[in-house]
Structures are given as structure tokens and as C-alpha cells.
Structure 1
Amino acid sequence: MSTTVIKIENLYKEYRLGVIGHGTLYRDLQSWCATAMGKEDPNSLIGHTGKGKARDHILALNDINLEIGNGEVLGIIGANGAGKSTLLKILSRVTAPTKGSIKVKGRVASLLEVGTGFHTELTGRENIYLNGAINGMNKKEVSRKLDEIVDFAGVEQFVDTPVKRYSSGMYVRLGFAVAAYLDPDILVVDEVLAVGDASFRKKAVNKMKDVSKGEGRTVLFVSHNMESIKSLCTRSVLLSKGKIVNQGDTIDVINAYLSRASEDVRMHGGERIWNIDNAPGNKVVRLMAIRTKNKKGKICSEFDVCEPFYIEFEHMVLSGNSQLSIVIEFISQLNNQVLLLSLDNYVSGPWGSQKPRDKGLYKSKCFVPANLLGEGNIFINFRIFTPPCPANQSEQIKEIGVIGFTVIDNHNLEGARGSYPYDLGYVMRPKLQWVTESIQPIDNKF
């Protein structure tokens, strides 16, 4: 049996929404005195079930107990807001737990967000040495690894350029290479690898396999890509609302996650509505509603492959001095891969020099033609950003898996399947035009 290198017991992380203190000096002193006397905090959700506190408190992690062995590759999966990133931040000592204990044996290297651990004014080379020093390595030790890091990240031409000029993809490649090659005992990787291209993701997954199997190091990997989790992790845990709701064999845990996701699709029934207080967004814009509708305008959550439909978004513009554009992604539930990406009609005009949108409520519709998507559960990622900046650098709203719907295949001859009787999987299958004609008959002698 492998040695335990991470032991988590009764771990809680609580946040109070919107404020740093409790709102009054009395409640701050009340909490401080309770902590000093070793008693439960009367202003905390931990250990309490009263509804009154639930409005402005949230338990990001709720009584987590977990042991991770040496050389193990553990997958951590769950919906957005489940507590995955919070758990990794506590493991990486970026934030402290509210209650509970976490014991870590060995040096931890983490890649949590784009640019984590980098000083933007320093060059790539200088940041590599800086991270090595932070991890307790001397200059000679880092120099021995330097060429491997630069080569893996593919930044040879830019290694002496300040990283503030790097693209998000370059940031992630260099960040991962630094974390993986500076000999950590435990490698913690959040879903930032989604920023990289497919070839780099494959390299990164293979490197994590080498770190675990070849070097006997422990890897904790958070991802929404179930194929990556399946190929890399032998054991996984499923988080939901801050709790571990399933753990064990990766295939079993993934199946449990997909079952929950399918239930979410049915639960929303093709419509989600928010009020202005809890709507996703900020002081610039908020998402007020999202609906999936058939061609007659009826709210539906299930569509035939031969049926056109549309997705309707309502958003409230609160600041009238910003240009706004919408981008949505269609995500396959099976492997969390992007099937389709669509930008709104902002891109039809001059980029970055259009009239700012006036304050008010707006409705946008994205029309999906028949015979485009394959069967299965599809989720929508929704973003509003502010041109002329790129979408990933100016997001005002970012809602992953904000709504889902199901595409079914009734084996209609009008569909792309036609009369083909076998499984076509979950891939996109647009009905393209085909023409086949004879260009030369073959003589009977042949």
C-alpha cells in the first residue's frame, strides 16, 4: 500500500458574500472571542443549519475527508461552483481553511490560474529562476532544467521577453512546464489546461503520466474534460456544493457525474431566470434569462436532429459606456469538448469602434439549423466580453454549462443519418451536399 502524502480531515471553507467583516463590530468581536476560546463561531454556517445565515454565507467546502497516496493521480470533477478550485487553493496554501486540518508531505507545485506565480515585468527566463528559488532550488539546479522547460513550453524565441507580452496560451505552457519540471513531490493542476491547444494538452497529460508513473510523484488534476480524466486518473472524486458525493474508480465516478448532469438538463426544462440581485455578471452587464425554444417559440429542452431551434438570452446593460459582444460554446456532455462556437452579430461591424450599448434590457437569439448536432446532451457556455479586447481577457459574464438540452435521433430519412442503421456517436453531423457520378465506364475485359 502506498504512503499517504495528503491527508484531509473535516475540512471546511466558508465565505461571506460581498463583505470582508461581519458588518458590525459586535459580530466581529463575537466571532473573534469564540475562536480564541475554542468555541464554534456563532456567525458561521459551520455546525449550524439556520436559514437566516444562509443568505450571506456560503460553504465552498463542507466537511471534506480524503487521503491521497504517493504516486497516485487523482481526478477531481464536478460542476462549476462545486468547490474544486477552492480545494486546490487550500492544498497549494493560497488560502487557508476555515476549519479542519490538511497534512501534506513534500513540496507542492501548482498551476491554478493563467499566470499564477509569474511576475509580469520579468522575462520568461527570470520567472523560471524565480519559481525555482521559491521552491527551494538553487541556481545550478534550475539551470539544469532550463532547456527542458523552455523546449516543453515552446517559447524558445520569447524566453527573454517579459511575460506580460505573452498570450494566455504561452502563459499556460510555460506555467505548466515550470510546475512539472522543477521536481515537485505533488503536482496540482487546475483546468487552466483548457486554454492550451489540443497538441499541448496531449503533451501535458503525457507529462503528468510520466511524473506519476516514472517518477513516483502525486498528481491532483481538475478538469471538465472527461476524456482527459479517464485517460490519466485511476481514482477520482466528485464534488457537489462543497461535498464529496462520490469517490472511487474513475469510470464509476464519471458515470455518476454524467447522470447528475443529465438530471440538471431535465430540471431546468429549457429555461433559467434570475433576478437582478443574483443574476450572473457585474456592474456592467448581467444575464437575466436564458431559454431554448423550438421553431414555434415554445420552450423545450429536447430537440430532434432534424429540427431547427434557437437559444434566447436576455441581458441587462447597467453601464452605457461599453461595447459588448456575446460568444457561446456548445459542449458535449460526453467528453466536455467544444462542438461549436458562435459569436453574435457584433463581429459584422468594425471591431472595437462601434457605439456603446445603451442601458436597458436586451434580447439576443442564436438560431441553430436542422441537421447540425449529433444526439446526446449538450451544454451551453455563455460569455459577454468587451471589445476590442479578446474574449478571454475582458469577460464581464462567464457562465459554464449555464443551460443544457438534449438532441435525439428518431432515424428520420431526412436527417444526415439517412438509412444508416448503426451508431454514429455524439459528433456533429451536418447534412452536407454530396454528388457522385460515373466518369468512365469499365470495359468488360476488366
Structure 2
Amino acid sequence: MSEAIITVEGLGKKYRLGAGRSNERYTALRDVVADKAKSLFRRNGKPTSDLRPLTSARATQEDFWALKDVSFEVKLGEVLGIIGRNGAGKSTLLKILSRITEPTEGRIKIKGRVASLLEVGTGFHPELTGRENIYLNGAILGMSRAEIKAKFDEIVAFAEVEKFLDTPVKRYSSGMYVRLAFAVAAHLEPEILVVDEVLSVGDAEFQKKCLGKMSEVSKEGRTVLFVSHNMPVIETLCSRAILLERGILQDGGDASEIVEKYLTRTIKMSQERLTHGMSKNIRSVIVINREGTETNQFAVGEDIIFDLELFSDGIIEHPRLSIGIHTPNGERLATIHTDIQQNSRWGFGGSRRVRAVCRNNFLVPARYRIDIGFWGFSTEIESLPGATHIDIVARDVYGTGSLPDASFQGHVVVDAEWEMDVADRFPKRKTIPEKNESC
């Protein structure tokens, strides 16, 4: 049995809501500069009379445990998925394991070097060029200049940023930044690679490259910790997974089993919130057919209408709504979104009913999970993963006597037809004249 390369015992991280940075042990240079600036308004280390701190601020402070009593082990060469809803403590855990922030309690044993890709903007110095940042990161990992040089061309080729190597990274797009950051983290051969959801910034082709590289890294005997909301990727890439909920480790084990538990738990929570009136902004979600009858069952090709009741106790200038259609294992097949299909500014306050009509549904027979998302212009107001579901049943949509079959047709039914004996409708292919040797 392989040895544990990471051991976490009774880990906890507490923040004080409403407090400044004084209770944090981690201090960055920007914090020092900010504190020095604040001191200009002080005399003898005390606030001046016209800048007296509010006494009520201290009374509103409260402790918030982002992580509490978390314990687990990660074996050498293992790919561990870390899953949970937003705010579950996933990113906090990775920051502690990456030594970016310190735990409040508990202990961690890590054997080997850790390379992290946590969020856009971390890991690189913005004023340095891509080339300089590669060498800087290698030096931080304890590598010699010769070792970094040996990996340099491979990093640049993977990241596809050769033209911009001598440009300060502050001028990179978020996609370029992530490509180079991942390439550096993965190719400088750390014993442990830590990757957060940041890969979602990159394009689909690069995400595929990254997933392939992480799989390759694990086969080389190195360890990967991976946070993602993409459950099919977790199941494919990870051998094990742990589930966090409100800072507490709820479960751990085989990745597929933990993903199934997470999805079941998430759907149950969303539906309980709707049933018991605990959902503040998305008050109801029902599915109806063209006749206005509430139902969750539809034939292939039939219209599906999603009817939502929304509420806001203030004016929302530019609300945004999305309806995500997912396979049972969490793979998103399609999104109905006001920014895409409606694309015009609208606003409301109080209560409002909204309908989305999905015409001639294209889904093959199966059960599909429906996620609802509700945002202001740039801030999430409420989300309900698994708010409801739809069951698609077979129908002879082509009039051929054959029914759509998900076992070989994939997830969608395509509106298509075949045309036979059409050779005369198209021009004949031009032939290349034979070369005349006498010319």
C-alpha cells in the first residue's frame, strides 16, 4: 500500500466576520503598505478624535468557521477530487494545503513540494514577464536555473504563449494567464499539484489538455488535488473524492459514489427549500406543457415550458436567469439563458412570474436534472441545483417506426433527413488533367 503524502488531522480555519486583518497571522506586502498609510491618520498609535472607530463595529464581530475538524489522507500518486457547493470550504482547504494561509487549529503533514493553481491573479508577479515568472516559480520550488531551463521549452509549448513571453503578465488575458500558470505548475515537477476551478477560464481545447496532463502527472507517481463543479470530470479523472459541506467533511471514498451522494444531497436540499418556502428569491419552479398542465413527463419533440416565480425585496436593474439541463451524473447538455435568448434589459422588484419555452425539445429518452440560477448584473442572487427534473419518453418523431435510443444516439435528437440518388443534382468532381510529357 502506498504511503500517505498528505495527512490532515482535525483541521480548522476560523475567520472573524466584521474584523480587520489584525486577527490574521498571514501578512502580505500590500497589507504593510496599507497599514502604514492608515498610520498617517493616527497620533501616538491611537486614532485621532475625528477618526474615532465606531464602538458598534466590535459588537457585530462574530466567528465563522470556514473549516472545522477536517481529517483525511492522500496517498502517493492519488488524484483526489474535492467537491461541495459554493462556500463549502474547498478553496480555503486548498489555500491552507498550499501554505497561502495558516490553519486556526489542527495539523498537516506534507511530504514534498506543492505547486498550486488556485485563482486568476495568484502565483505570478504582475510586473514580471512570462519568462521571468517561469524562473521565479521554479526558484520558489527549489529548482536550479539549469533544471528550469531544461523544462522551459516544454512549458512554453504547452501554454502557447511564445509570442508574449517577454510581456509583463499583467497585460495577459485571463485565458493566457491560466494557460501559463498551469503549464508552470504541472511541468516543474512538484510532488503535489493543487488545482482549483480556475481551469474553467480556459477554452475547451485547453481544458482537455490540462485534464490529460493531470492524468499523466498522476501516472508518474505524483499527487493531484482537484476542485471542480464538473462532476463528470471528477468521476473521470479522480480515483477518490471528499465531500465538504459548510466547512465539515461529510464523506469520502470512491469518486463515483461520492459524486452520486453529492448530487442526491444537492437536489434534496434544493427541493426542500422550494417545498418549505425557504427559498427567498426563487419562490417556485414548475414545468408545464402547451395545454398549461403541470407535468414532468414529455415526449421527444414536445414543447417544454418552465414557469418560475421570482421575488426581490428591492429593485433589480438587470436580472439574469438561467435554466441548465443536465444528465443524471451532472453533465450539462444545454442552457436556456436570458442573456442569450432574450438579450434585452429588464428589471423588477417584488414578485414576478417568468416563463421559458423550450420548443420541440431535442432530448433522447431519459431523466434530466434542471438547475435554476438567478443573478443581478454580476452577483449571484440565488441558485437551485436540481430544482426539478423532466422525464423524456420515446416517440416516433421521424415517422419511420423507429424510436430514439440513448444507448447509441447520444443525448440529442437531430432534426435531419436523408436524400438518396442525388448524384445528378451536384456537379461532377473535376479531374486533374494528366501531365503531358511532351510539353
TM-score, normalised relative to structure 2:
0.73
Summarize the alignment of residues 337-416 of structure 1 with structure 2, pairs less than 5 Å apart.
Answer: 337-344=331-338, 360-361=349-350, 363=352, 365-374=355-364, 375-380=366-371, 382=373, 384=375, 386=377, 395-397=378-380, 402-413=385-396
Aligned partner of 2:11 in structure 1 is 11
1:152 equivalenced with 2:158 (yes/no): yes
Which amino acid is the alignment partner of residue 168 of structure 2?
Answer: P
> Structure 1 residues 69, 271: CA separation in 2 closer, same or farther (over 3 Å shift)?
same
Which amino acid is the alignment partner of residue 305 of structure 2?
Answer: F
> Structure 1 residues 337, 118: CA separation in 2 closer, same or farther (over 3 Å shift)?
farther
Summarize the alignment of residues 160-171 of structure 1 with structure 2, pairs less than 5 Å apart.
Answer: 160-171=166-177
Which amino acid is the alignment partner of residue 308 of structure 1?
Answer: I
Q: SS at the partner of 1:304?
A: strand
Aligned partner of 1:62 in structure 2 is 68
CA-to-partner distance for each residue in 1:260-301, whole Å, 9 max, x for gaps?
2443454345897655xxxxxxxxxxx565634425898968
1:250 equivalenced with 2:229 (yes/no): no
Q: SS at the partner of 1:409?
A: strand
Which amino acid is the alignment partner of residue 98 of structure 2?
Answer: S
> Structure 1 residues 21, 125: CA separation in 2 closer, same or farther (over 3 Å shift)?
closer
Q: Is the 8 A contact 2:404 2:413 kept in 1?
A: no
Q: Is the 8 A contact 1:329 1:382 kept in 2?
A: yes
CA-to-partner distance for each residue in 1:417-437, whole Å, 9 max, x for gaps?
974174458965356253656
1:308 equivalenced with 2:313 (yes/no): no
1:432 equivalenced with 2:415 (yes/no): yes
Higher mean Cα deviation, 154-163 or 360-369?
360-369
Q: Is the 8 A contact 1:246 1:253 kept in 2?
A: yes
> Structure 1 residues 417, 408: CA separation in 2 closer, same or farther (over 3 Å shift)?
farther
TM-score, normalised relative to structure 1:
0.72
Higher mean Cα deviation, 56-65 or 112-121?
56-65
The one of 78, 87, 111 aligned to 1:81: 87
Q: Is the 8 A contact 2:242 2:249 kept in 1?
A: yes
> Structure 1 residues 399, 86: CA separation in 2 closer, same or farther (over 3 Å shift)?
farther
C-alpha distance in structure 1 between counterparts of 2:295 and 2:248, whole Å:
28
Q: SS at the partner of 1:147?
A: helix
Aligned partner of 2:433 in structure 1 is none
Q: Is the 8 A contact 1:273 1:290 kept in 2?
A: no
> Structure 1 residues 224, 180: CA separation in 2 closer, same or farther (over 3 Å shift)?
same
Residues matched between the structures, number: 383
CA-to-partner distance for each residue in 1:280-339, whole Å, 9 max, x for gaps?
xxxxxxx5656344258989683525342125364649688xx73636362525454332
C-alpha distance in structure 2 between counterparts of 1:246 and 1:67, whole Å:
13
Aligned partner of 1:233 in structure 2 is 238
C-alpha distance in structure 1 between counterparts of 2:342 and 2:224, whole Å:
45
C-alpha distance in structure 1 between counterparts of 2:275 and 2:9, whole Å:
40
Q: Is the 8 A contact 1:92 1:110 kept in 2?
A: yes
Q: Is the 8 A contact 1:125 1:159 kept in 2?
A: yes
Q: SS at the partner of 1:62?
A: strand
Q: Is the 8 A contact 1:8 1:64 kept in 2?
A: yes
Per the TM alignment, residue 145 of structure 1 is displaced from its structure 2 partner at its CA by 1.9
Which amino acid is the alignment partner of residue 73 of structure 2?
Answer: E
Q: Is the 8 A contact 1:153 1:174 kept in 2?
A: yes
- Give the unaligned 5+ runs of structure 2: 24-60, 425-439
> Structure 1 residues 114, 440: CA separation in 2 closer, same or farther (over 3 Å shift)?
closer
1:202 equivalenced with 2:208 (yes/no): yes
Query: What is the identity percentage for the equivalent residue pairs of Structure 1 and Structure 2?
Result: 42
C-alpha distance in structure 1 between counterparts of 2:101 and 2:406, whole Å:
48
Larger Rg computed on CA atoms = 2
Aligned partner of 1:328 in structure 2 is 322
> Structure 1 residues 100, 81: CA separation in 2 closer, same or farther (over 3 Å shift)?
same
Q: Is the 8 A contact 2:118 2:198 kept in 1?
A: yes
Summarize the alignment of residues 261-272 of structure 1 with structure 2, pairs less than 5 Å apart.
Answer: 261-264=266-269, 266-269=271-274
1:106 equivalenced with 2:141 (yes/no): no
Per the TM alignment, residue 372 of structure 1 is displaced from its structure 2 partner at its CA by 3.3
Aligned partner of 1:36 in structure 2 is none
Q: SS at the partner of 2:393?
A: coil
CA-to-partner distance for each residue in 1:211-230, whole Å, 9 max, x for gaps?
2222x211111122233222
Per the TM alignment, residue 182 of structure 1 is displaced from its structure 2 partner at its CA by 1.7
Which amino acid is the alignment partner of residue 9 of structure 1?
Answer: E
Which amino acid is the alignment partner of residue 221 of structure 1?
Answer: F
Which amino acid is the alignment partner of residue 361 of structure 2?
Answer: N
